[in-house]
Protein backbone atom coordinates (compact mmCIF):
# COMPACT_ATOMS: atom_id res chain seq x y z
CA UNK A 1 0.00 0.00 0.00
CA UNK A 2 1.30 3.45 -0.91
CA UNK A 3 2.25 5.78 1.92
CA UNK A 4 -0.25 8.40 0.70
CA UNK A 5 -3.09 5.87 1.07
CA UNK A 6 -2.01 5.17 4.65
CA UNK A 7 -1.92 8.92 5.36
CA UNK A 8 -5.41 9.38 3.89
CA UNK A 9 -6.71 6.61 6.13
CA UNK A 10 -5.12 8.28 9.18
CA UNK A 11 -6.74 11.59 8.20
CA UNK A 12 -10.13 9.95 8.09
CA UNK A 13 -9.64 8.20 11.44
CA UNK A 14 -8.12 11.18 13.28
CA UNK A 15 -9.96 14.10 11.78
CA UNK A 16 -11.40 15.07 15.16
CA UNK A 17 -9.26 13.15 17.62
CA UNK A 18 -5.61 13.31 18.73
CA UNK A 19 -2.94 11.27 16.98
CA UNK A 20 -0.38 9.41 19.09
CA UNK A 21 2.83 7.90 17.79
CA UNK A 22 1.72 4.59 19.28
CA UNK A 23 -1.03 4.32 16.63
CA UNK A 24 1.65 4.08 13.94
CA UNK A 25 3.44 1.25 15.73
CA UNK A 26 0.56 -1.12 15.03
CA UNK A 27 1.26 -1.23 11.29
CA UNK A 28 3.19 -4.30 10.12
CA UNK A 29 6.90 -4.31 9.25
CA UNK A 30 7.87 -1.82 6.51
CA UNK A 31 4.58 0.06 6.84
CA UNK A 32 5.24 0.76 10.51
CA UNK A 33 8.81 1.96 9.98
CA UNK A 34 8.05 3.83 6.76
CA UNK A 35 4.90 5.62 7.88
CA UNK A 36 6.25 6.56 11.32
CA UNK A 37 9.44 7.91 9.74
CA UNK A 38 7.47 9.89 7.15
CA UNK A 39 5.19 11.46 9.75
CA UNK A 40 8.12 12.44 11.96
CA UNK A 41 9.87 14.36 9.17
CA UNK A 42 6.69 16.04 7.90
CA UNK A 43 7.12 19.27 9.96
CA UNK A 44 10.54 19.76 8.35
CA UNK A 45 9.18 19.23 4.82
CA UNK A 46 6.35 21.73 5.09
CA UNK A 47 5.83 24.66 7.48
CA UNK A 48 3.52 23.08 10.07
CA UNK A 49 3.28 24.97 13.39
CA UNK A 50 3.73 22.58 16.31
CA UNK A 51 3.43 24.08 19.80
CA UNK A 52 6.44 22.19 21.17
CA UNK A 53 9.89 23.79 21.55
CA UNK A 54 12.65 21.59 20.15
CA UNK A 55 10.29 19.21 18.35
CA UNK A 56 12.87 18.58 15.59
CA UNK A 57 15.28 17.29 18.25
CA UNK A 58 12.57 15.12 19.82
CA UNK A 59 11.52 13.69 16.47
CA UNK A 60 15.19 13.22 15.58
CA UNK A 61 15.67 11.10 18.72
CA UNK A 62 12.68 8.91 17.76
CA UNK A 63 14.07 8.47 14.22
CA UNK A 64 17.46 7.49 15.65
CA UNK A 65 15.68 4.79 17.68
CA UNK A 66 13.94 3.53 14.54
CA UNK A 67 17.21 3.52 12.60
CA UNK A 68 18.88 1.53 15.37
CA UNK A 69 16.08 -1.03 15.22
CA UNK A 70 16.56 -1.45 11.46
CA UNK A 71 20.29 -1.95 12.01
CA UNK A 72 19.56 -4.59 14.67
CA UNK A 73 17.10 -6.43 12.40
CA UNK A 74 13.78 -5.53 14.05
CA UNK A 75 10.76 -6.30 11.89
CA UNK A 76 8.36 -4.18 13.92
CA UNK A 77 9.03 -0.65 15.22
CA UNK A 78 9.03 -0.15 18.99
CA UNK A 79 9.10 2.97 21.15
CA UNK A 80 9.29 3.48 24.93
CA UNK A 81 5.86 4.10 26.43
CA UNK A 82 6.43 7.82 27.00
CA UNK A 83 7.36 8.37 23.35
CA UNK A 84 4.60 6.07 22.07
CA UNK A 85 2.09 8.10 24.10
CA UNK A 86 3.27 11.42 22.66
CA UNK A 87 0.12 12.93 21.14
CA UNK A 88 -0.56 15.65 18.62
CA UNK A 89 -3.73 17.70 18.94
CA UNK A 90 -6.38 17.07 16.24
CA UNK A 91 -5.75 20.36 14.39
CA UNK A 92 -1.97 19.91 14.49
CA UNK A 93 -2.17 16.28 13.40
CA UNK A 94 -4.54 17.12 10.53
CA UNK A 95 -2.29 19.95 9.32
CA UNK A 96 0.79 17.74 9.52
CA UNK A 97 -0.84 14.84 7.67
CA UNK A 98 -2.30 17.08 4.94
CA UNK A 99 1.08 18.73 4.40
CA UNK A 100 2.80 15.35 4.19
CA UNK A 101 0.11 14.10 1.82
CA UNK A 102 0.76 16.99 -0.59
CA UNK A 103 4.48 16.21 -0.62
CA UNK A 104 3.91 12.48 -1.09
CA UNK A 105 1.47 12.89 -3.96
CA UNK A 106 4.03 15.01 -5.80
CA UNK A 107 6.63 12.24 -5.43
CA UNK A 108 4.80 8.91 -5.35
CA UNK A 109 3.79 8.90 -9.01
CA UNK A 110 7.38 7.94 -9.86
CA UNK A 111 7.74 5.38 -7.05
CA UNK A 112 7.10 1.70 -7.71
CA UNK A 113 8.52 -1.67 -6.79
CA UNK A 114 11.88 -2.07 -8.62
CA UNK A 115 15.47 -2.99 -7.86
CA UNK A 116 14.10 -4.78 -4.82
CA UNK A 117 17.46 -6.43 -4.13
CA UNK A 118 18.49 -3.06 -2.68
CA UNK A 119 15.57 -3.07 -0.23
CA UNK A 120 14.95 -6.44 1.37
CA UNK A 121 18.24 -8.14 2.41
CA UNK A 122 19.20 -7.57 6.03
CA UNK A 123 22.45 -5.94 4.96
CA UNK A 124 20.52 -3.38 2.90
CA UNK A 125 18.21 -2.66 5.84
CA UNK A 126 21.26 -2.07 8.05
CA UNK A 127 22.67 0.46 5.59
CA UNK A 128 19.27 2.17 5.46
CA UNK A 129 19.15 2.21 9.26
CA UNK A 130 22.61 3.78 9.52
CA UNK A 131 21.65 6.48 7.00
CA UNK A 132 18.45 7.11 8.95
CA UNK A 133 20.42 7.52 12.19
CA UNK A 134 22.89 9.93 10.58
CA UNK A 135 20.22 12.08 8.91
CA UNK A 136 18.09 12.13 12.07
CA UNK A 137 21.10 13.27 14.11
CA UNK A 138 21.78 16.12 11.67
CA UNK A 139 18.10 17.05 11.48
CA UNK A 140 17.85 17.21 15.26
CA UNK A 141 20.73 19.65 15.70
CA UNK A 142 19.32 22.97 16.99
CA UNK A 143 20.98 25.14 14.33
CA UNK A 144 19.29 28.40 13.20
CA UNK A 145 20.73 27.99 9.67
CA UNK A 146 18.76 27.46 6.42
CA UNK A 147 18.38 23.88 5.11
CA UNK A 148 19.78 22.21 8.24
CA UNK A 149 16.40 20.51 8.77
CA UNK A 150 15.21 20.50 5.16
CA UNK A 151 17.99 18.45 3.50
CA UNK A 152 18.18 15.58 6.01
CA UNK A 153 14.36 15.46 6.19
CA UNK A 154 14.08 14.87 2.44
CA UNK A 155 16.84 12.27 2.61
CA UNK A 156 14.82 10.46 5.29
CA UNK A 157 11.61 10.76 3.27
CA UNK A 158 13.17 9.09 0.21
CA UNK A 159 14.62 6.35 2.42
CA UNK A 160 11.15 5.74 3.89
CA UNK A 161 9.53 5.73 0.44
CA UNK A 162 12.11 3.21 -0.74
CA UNK A 163 11.32 1.00 2.24
CA UNK A 164 7.53 1.30 1.85
CA UNK A 165 7.41 0.85 -1.92
CA UNK A 166 10.34 -1.59 -2.19
CA UNK A 167 11.80 0.94 -4.62
CA UNK A 168 15.57 0.64 -4.96
CA UNK A 169 15.81 3.86 -6.97
CA UNK A 170 14.07 5.84 -4.20
CA UNK A 171 16.57 4.32 -1.77
CA UNK A 172 19.47 5.37 -3.99
CA UNK A 173 18.07 8.90 -4.09
CA UNK A 174 17.90 8.80 -0.30
CA UNK A 175 21.54 7.70 -0.16
CA UNK A 176 22.50 10.44 -2.61
CA UNK A 177 20.72 13.06 -0.51
CA UNK A 178 22.46 11.65 2.56
CA UNK A 179 25.79 12.29 0.84
CA UNK A 180 24.74 15.80 -0.21
CA UNK A 181 23.56 16.54 3.33
CA UNK A 182 26.86 15.33 4.76
CA UNK A 183 28.82 17.58 2.37
CA UNK A 184 26.58 20.54 3.27
CA UNK A 185 27.10 20.07 7.00
CA UNK A 186 30.84 19.52 6.51
CA UNK A 187 30.96 22.83 4.65
CA UNK A 188 29.03 24.53 7.46
CA UNK A 189 31.41 23.10 10.05
CA UNK A 190 34.40 24.39 8.06
CA UNK A 191 32.93 27.89 7.76
CA UNK A 192 31.95 28.01 11.44
CA UNK A 193 35.40 26.76 12.44
CA UNK A 194 37.11 29.51 10.43
CA UNK A 195 34.85 32.16 11.92
CA UNK A 196 35.60 30.95 15.43
CA UNK A 197 39.32 31.01 14.67
CA UNK A 198 39.06 34.59 13.42
CA UNK A 199 37.19 35.65 16.56
CA UNK A 200 39.55 33.99 19.04
CA UNK A 201 42.66 34.67 16.96
CA UNK A 202 43.70 31.13 16.08
Q: What is the mean pLDDT of the chain?
A: 81
Question: Number of structural domains, the chain?
Answer: 1
What is the extent of the structural domain holding 177? 3-200
**3-state secondary structure (DSSP) of residue 115:** coil
Q: Is 0.75 surpassed by the pTM of this model?
A: yes
Instruction: Report which secondary-structure segment, H or E, holds 166.
Output: none
Quick: pLDDT tens for 153-190.
889 989 988 888 888 888 999 999 999 999 999 988 88
Residues 6+ apart with CB under 8 A from 61: 136, 140
Reply yes or no on whether the pLDDT at 82 is more than 60.
Answer: yes
Q: Among residues of the chain, what percentage have pLDDT more than 90?
A: 18
What local confidence, expressed as pLDDT, does residue 54 receive?
64
Res 146 pLDDT > 90: no
Amino acid sequence: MKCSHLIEALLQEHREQPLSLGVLLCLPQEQGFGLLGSVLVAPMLVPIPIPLPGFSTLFGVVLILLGGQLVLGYHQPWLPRKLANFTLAPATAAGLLRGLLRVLKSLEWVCRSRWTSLCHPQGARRILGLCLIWNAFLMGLPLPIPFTNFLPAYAILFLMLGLLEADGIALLLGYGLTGATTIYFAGLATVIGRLVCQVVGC
